[in-house]
Amino acid sequence: MRTVAKIGISLITAILALLLIGYLLIHTFINPKRYQEQIKHMFYAKTQQHLQIKGDMLLHFFPWVGLSMTNVLISNPPPIQVQPFAEIGNIELQLNILALLRGEFDLDKISLNNLTVNFIRQSDEENNHTTVANLLPIETHQAAQTIMLSTSQAQHIQAIKDKEEEQENIKHYIDIDQLNINHATLNWLDQKTGKMIRLKNFNLMATNLSANKSGTLQANFNIESNEPLTAAEMPFSNNKLRSEISGSFLLNKNTNIPTYNTVLFIKQLDIAPLINLYQEKKNFQLTGLLTGKINAKSSGDSMNAIKQNLVAHSTLALDNGTLTGLNLDQLIQQINILKNIPTLQTKPLNTSLRYNKITGSFNIENEKLNNSDLRIIGNDISGSGHGTLNLSNHMLNYELTLQMAQSILPLNIPITLNVTGPINAPNTTIHIASIGTKILERDFLKQLGKQFKNKP
C-alpha cells in the first residue's frame, strides 16, 4: 500500500514539475509583450486610433487560458483633439482551447473592467462615434496587410498572400461567447453646445456575439446630465434611478447580404438628459420614464445600407413626467384677439404641464418613422398626436391636439399644434384658425340653446 502511495505521490509531483517547467518555458519563449507593437499596428490600421498598453500584459493558464492587459488607453481619431477615447482598467480575454484545436478562434469571454469611454461630437460632420463600428473583428485582408511591416515590399506582398491562405478556413469562425462590461462610465459630450450626459456604473452582459447564433444582452446604469432639472420638473430621484435595457439579437451571415434581427426591452429610462443633449434650442422639454419594446430588422454590409433597410416596430410608454415649452402666452394673446377678452390669463411660458402617461406605437420603414396613435393622459394636459420623422434629413412633421386644464388655460377647447422642422430645433405653430372656428361653433350652440330655452 505504501508503495502505491509513493508511486502516486511521485507521479503527482512529476506532473506538477512538468507543468511548472512548461509554464516557465512558455513565459520565457512566448512573451506577449513581444507582440505589443504588432497589436498596436493592427489596431491603428483598422481604427486610425492609437492603442497604449501602459500596464502589464500577461498570459494565463489557470484557472483559465488567455491574455490580460491592464491600464489600456485608446486615443481619439483625427480630427478630435480631446483625449482619450477610452480608458480600460483591466481587459481579460479567455480562449476556448477545444476551438483552437479545431482551427477556430473562439473567445469564451471578454471582460472589460473599470472602463471609461468618451463619445464626442465636435460638429454635425465630425464625431468619434462612427469609428466604433470599426472595432469589429479585423477582416482577413486587413489583418494580413498589417503584419511584417518592416519587411521589403515583395516580402510584404507574399506575407499577405500566405496569411490569407492560412486564415481562409477560419475567418468565419471568430466567436465571442460572452462579453462582460463592469463598472463602466460612458460620457457623451457635445462640444458645439457644451451639453453632456453620463451613464454611470454601467454594467453589460452579452452572449453569443457571433454570426448565425441567437444572442442576448442585459445592461443597467444610472443616467446623469450637466443640466440638472428642478424638483418640480423631475418627480423622481435622478441619482438613484436605475435604468435597464435587455433583449436578444441575431446576425445571419448565411445569406448573400448579412441580416440583423433585434428585440429590445427598455425599463425606467430617463429621457430628459437625452432630449437636452440633442436639442440645440432649449424651447421644449419633455421628462419621464420610458418603458417599451422594440423589434427591429435590417440587412446590409455597411452602416448606410443597414440604416436604409431598417424596418422596426415599437410600443413605448412614458410615465409621470412633464411637458414644458408650449407657447401659452402667444396662444392666449391670439385667443384674446379672437374673443376680445383682454382679461383672460394663463400661467407663464415656462410652466411645466404634468402628465400621467404618454403611449404610442412607432414604425420605421423607408427611412421614415411614423406614428398615428399617440395618447396623452393627465390632469394638467391630455390629448393625441400623429405624424412622421424623416430619418435621412431628421425633419419632423407632427400634429398634436391638446386639452389643457381650466386652471392652466381657462378655455374648454382642444388646441391643435403643428410641430415641424429639424428634430433638434423644432418649431411649434398654433392652429389659431381652428381655435377660432371652435369658439364660434361653441358660441353659436350656446346662443341656439338660449333661444330654445327662452322660446315659449
Q: What is the pLDDT of residue 36?
A: 78
Per-residue pLDDT of the chain (456 residues; tens, 9 = 90+): 555 455 555 555 555 544 454 454 445 445 666 667 877 887 787 777 888 889 988 877 766 778 888 999 988 877 777 778 899 999 998 877 666 666 565 678 889 999 998 888 877 667 776 655 544 443 333 333 333 344 444 555 555 555 554 444 434 445 788 889 999 998 888 877 778 888 889 999 988 877 777 889 899 988 887 765 433 333 333 445 678 889 888 877 777 788 889 999 999 898 888 887 777 666 677 889 999 999 999 998 877 888 899 999 999 999 999 887 766 656 666 666 555 544 444 444 446 788 999 999 999 999 999 999 999 999 888 999 999 999 999 999 999 998 888 777 666 778 888 889 998 888 877 766 666 566 666 665 566 665 555 555
pTM value is 0.72
Residue type, 257: I
Separation of alpha carbons 261 and 249, rounded Å: 5
Q: What is the pLDDT of residue 71?
A: 94
Q: Please provide the DSSP assignment of 173-204 as one string.
A: -EEEEEEEEEEEEEEEEETTTTEEEEEEEEEE
Three-class DSSP labels, 239-295: CCCCEEEEEEEEEECCCCCCEEEEEEEEEEEECHHHHHHHCCCCCCEECCEEEEEEE
Contact (CB, 8 A) for 328 and 409? yes
Q: What is the pLDDT of residue 67?
A: 83
Q: What is the pLDDT of residue 226?
A: 72
Q: What is the pLDDT of residue 107?
A: 75
Q: Up-side HSE of residue 67: CA atoms within 13 Å toward CB?
A: 12
Separation of alpha carbons 431 and 428, rounded Å: 10
Closest Cα to residue 91, out of 107, 123, 115? 115
Length of the chain: 456
Q: Which grid coordinates are listed for 138?
A: 479585423
Closest Cα to residue 129, out of 191, 217, 177? 191
**What Rg, from alpha-carbon coordinates, does the chain have?**
30
- DSSP, collapsed to helix, strand or coil, labels residue 156 as helix
Q: What is the pLDDT of residue 405?
A: 81
User: Pseudo-torsion of CA 276, 279, 281, 287, nearest 10°?
Assistant: -40
What count of other Cβ atoms lies within 10 Å of the Cβ of residue 108? 17
